[in-house]
Amino acid sequence: MVRRLPVLQSQDTDDAAAARRPRLQWVLIGAGFVVTLFLPLSMLGVWLGSWLVRGFSRAGQGKSLIALGALPVALSFLLACGLAGALVGRFGGRAKTREAACSGALGACLGWGLAALGGSLRPWLVALTSLALLVVFGALAAALGARLSLTRRV
């Protein structure tokens, strides 16, 4: 008599496992995705901002040049939050717009913490204002990304 080992077969697909994942894990996944996307996009944003400032340095004022240089970095942050919200909205199982907004806010806090560790947030008023703006706009962009991707849910 030949003895055979039982074959372990998983009845769950990856989609079913993702659907059962708790909502908090999707918030953490989205926040990690915000930071992961924002770092390379911000490098492109800094390059584009410096290129724009050099191009318009003769015609512009000091404050408008600062805003022109910071605009591509801010847009890269909004894009990163929107894409992270779309990931949570589309593949999140029970996680929906609220969890996507929380992931955008948490990703904003993580990005702000990285900037604070780098020493770029010296005056406390600038630090608190930038944290509040990042959290609000990060949550809104992630919620919008989730809202747009909920119709294509897997």
> pLDDT by residue (tens digit) across 47-95?
999 998 888 777 667 778 888 888 999 999 999 999 999 999 988 888 8
List the chain domain ranges.
Answer: 23-152
Residues 6+ apart with CB under 8 A from 153: 89, 90, 91
For the chain, give the percent of residues with pLDDT over 90. 56
Most confident of 4-8, 15-19, 84-88, 91-95: 84-88
Residue 8: phi and psi, rounded to 5, are: -85, 120
Across the chain, mean pLDDT equals 88
Assess whether pLDDT exceeds 80 at residue 5: no
CA–CA dist 32, 12 (Å, integer): 25
- Mean pLDDT value across residues 93-98: 88
**Interior/surface letters 100-131, b for 16+ CB within 10 angstroms, e for the rest:** bbbbbbbbbbbbbeebeeeeebeeeeeeeebb
Quick one: pLDDT band at residue 14, thresholds 50, 70, 90?
Answer: low
To the question of pTM greater than 0.75 for the whole model, the response is yes
Tell me the two tokens of residue 55. Answer: 């191009």
Are the C-beta atoms of 134 and 84 separated by less than 8 Å?
Answer: no
Assess whether pLDDT exceeds 70 at residue 143: yes
